[in-house]
Amino acid sequence: MNTKLKSSLALLLPLSLVAALTYGCSTKCTMCGSRSTASVPPPVLTPLPPALPAPASQDDKMAWFREAKFGLFIHWGLYCQPAGEWQGKPVAGIGEWIMNRAQIPVSEYSRLATTFNPVQFDAEAWVQMAEDAGMKYIVITSKHHEGFAMYHSLVSPYNIYDATPFHRDPIRELAQACARHGIKFGFYYSQAQDWHEPGGAGNTWDFGPDDAKDKSGAYDKYLQTKAEPQVRELLSNYGPVCLIWFDTPRMMTKERGQRFVDLVHSLQPACLIDGRLGTSGDYVSTGDNVIPNATLDGDWEVPATMNHTWGFKKDDTDWKAPSDVLFKLVDIASKGGNYLLNVGPTSQGIIPLECQSNLLTVGRWLKVNHEAVYGAGRSPFGEEFGDYSTKLKDKNNKPLYLSYTDWRCTSRPGKLYFTIFKLGRDGFELPAFKNEIKRTYLLSDASQTDIPITTTNNVRLVQPPRNSLNAMANVLVVEINGDQVER
C-alpha cells in the first residue's frame, strides 16, 4: 500500500484496522486481531549482501549500535502454538518456557513441529512494521531453549524447514527483507540451554541434572556438534549479521565462551556479541525490562517485553501503551543505552495487531522527533531521573527509588533536547546551567519559531505554544553556546 493512501486511511480508520490493512492481514481472529487466514506467498529469494569487513576500531564496530537506539526483538518458536496452554490448562510464566514449566518430554513437545505452519508469515510486512515503528535493527530467536532451529539447519533436522509442513526458512526471508530496508539483522541463539538434546543444559526432566552432562562430556559434545556448528551456519548463510544475542550462560566457562567469540570473530568480525555469552561481549545487556536509574557509561541495551511474555501467549494482551514505550525509549536513550523491544508472533506468523498498532504510534512520533533519539548523547543533568524516597523502602529494605517522569534530556554538541512528558501550567522550567542560550524551539515546528524564555530569580521558564502539542511528548530544542553544558 502506498504511503499516501496509508496516511489518508489513518485519518479515517481505527489504528488496528489500518495496521491490518497495511501489514497484510481482513474475519477477525480473537487471538491476534488478524483479519484474514489467507496465506502469503513466499518471496522470490535473491542473493544476500556479503558480510561486512573487519572494523578498524571498537568505536567503528559500535558506531551503528550507538546510533540505532531502538531495536525489535522477536521471540518466535514452536512455543507460539501452545501459546501458554498445555493439555487445556494455562501454564504460568513466560510463553517460551512452557516446555520447561510443564516438564513436557521431548517426544511430546517435538510433535509440535508436525503442525507448525505459519502460512501468514510475511517477512516484508514484519520488517516494514519495524521500520515504521522507528526501529533500526531486528534480533530474532534463531534457536531458543526449546532447541528448535527457526531456519534451515543442516546440523540438526529439528528445524522449521525440515520438520514442519511450512518447509520454508523465515530467517532467510527476513534477512532479505532487512537488507532491502536497510535494517540491521541479528540472531538470538541459546548456546547453553537446549532442552531437545541430551547434552544441552536445562532439560532435567528427560536427561537428568546438568552437572552430570558437564562431567560426562555430553555438554561439550552438544556444544561442539550442535551449538557451534549452528552459529557457524547462521554467520555463513544469512548475509551480514549485526549481532548475536547469546543467553543464560549455564556452565559457560571462559574456555567454552571463548570458542564462540573466536567463531564469531573469524566469520564476521563486525558482528557484535551481547552481554550474556558468559565471557564479556561488546556491550552489556541489562536484566530483562531493567532500566538503570541514571546514566551509565559504555555500551548497553535493555531487552524488554511489550506485555509480560517473550513468546506469544494467548491470554496476555496487556500491551504497553504507546506513551509508555515512548517514555522508556527516551529514558533509556538519555541514559546512554539501547531499547530492544520484543514482539511474540503467533503460530500463523502474525505479530498481534494491537501490539503493532502501539509500536506504530511510537514510530509516527519518531518520524517528527527522531533527532532527539537516534545518535543522541546522554543527559548532562541527572536530577530529572528521580530520587530515593526518605520514607518508602524497596523489597531489600533499602530506600525506594522513585523515578520522575516529567522530562528527559538527550544531547548533541551545542544542542539540548528536552523531551517533555508533562508540561506544567507555568511552562517548562529549564534545569540550571551556565551556557548562554542561542535559540529555543519545538522540534515538531518546521519553521523553528523561537520560543521566548522568561527568567525570574535565576529560573528560566519556557512556555511552548499549547495549540500544536503532541499528547504523548514534545521535544524542546535548546541551542547553547559551547559544545558542553556547564553547570
Binding-site ranges for ligand JFZ (CB under 6 A): 94, 96-97, 247-248, 287-288, 303, 310
Cβ at position 288, least distance to ligand JFZ in Å: 4
> In this structure, what are the phi and psi dihedrals at residue 412, rounded to the nearest 5 degrees?
-140, 165
The continuous run of DSSP H or E covering 273 comes out as strand 272-273
Q: Can you name the residues that pair with 415 across neighbouring β-strands?
A: 412, 479
Q: From CA 366, how far away is CA 372, in angstroms rounded? A: 9
Confirm if 345 and 122 have CB atoms less than 8 A apart: no
**Closer Cβ to ligand JFZ, 97 or 195, answer by number:** 97
Cβ at position 423, least distance to ligand JFZ in Å: 35
Cβ at position 70, least distance to ligand JFZ in Å: 17
**Closer Cβ to ligand JFZ, 311 or 322, answer by number:** 311
Residue least distant from ligand JFZ (Cβ): 287
DSSP character at residue 159: B
**Closer Cβ to ligand JFZ, 11 or 92, answer by number:** 92
Cβ at position 3, least distance to ligand JFZ in Å: 33
Cβ at position 218, least distance to ligand JFZ in Å: 21
**Closer Cβ to ligand JFZ, 96 or 228, answer by number:** 96
**Closer Cβ to ligand JFZ, 193 or 357, answer by number:** 193
Using left for φ > 0, alpha for ψ between -120 and 50, and beta otherwise, residue 242 falls in alpha
Q: How many CA atoms lie within 13 A of 270 on its CB side?
A: 18
**Closer Cβ to ligand JFZ, 97 or 339, answer by number:** 97
Would you tell me how many other CB atoms lie within 10 Å of the CB of residue 261?
18
Q: How many CA atoms lie within 13 A of 472 on its CB side?
A: 20
Q: From CA 333, how far away is CA 330, in angstroms rounded? A: 5
Cβ at position 14, least distance to ligand JFZ in Å: 31
Cβ at position 247, least distance to ligand JFZ in Å: 5
Residue 144 sits at the vertex; the CA angle it makes with 138 and 145, to the nearest 5 degrees, is 155
Confirm if 277 and 317 have CB atoms less than 8 A apart: no
**Closer Cβ to ligand JFZ, 79 or 418, answer by number:** 79
**Closer Cβ to ligand JFZ, 143 or 168, answer by number:** 143
3 state DSSP class of 454: strand
**Residue 245 grid cell:** 544475542
Question: 341 CB contacts (<8 Å, ≥6 apart)?
Answer: 70, 71, 72, 73, 135, 304, 305, 306, 325, 359
**Closer Cβ to ligand JFZ, 17 or 94, answer by number:** 94
Cβ at position 75, least distance to ligand JFZ in Å: 6
The continuous run of DSSP H or E covering 3 comes out as helix 3-12
Q: For CA atoms 360, 362, 368, 373, give the dihedral sign.
A: negative
**Closer Cβ to ligand JFZ, 248 or 258, answer by number:** 248
Burial class for 243, CB neighbours closer than 10 Å (0-12, 13-18, 19+): buried
**Closer Cβ to ligand JFZ, 185 or 441, answer by number:** 185
Closest CA to 376 of 349, 410, 407: 410
**Closer Cβ to ligand JFZ, 148 or 418, answer by number:** 148
Cβ at position 243, least distance to ligand JFZ in Å: 14
DSSP character at residue 149: B
Q: For CA atoms 446, 452, 455, 461, give the dihedral sign.
A: negative
Residue 339 sits at the vertex; the CA angle it makes with 56 and 431, to the nearest 5 degrees, is 100
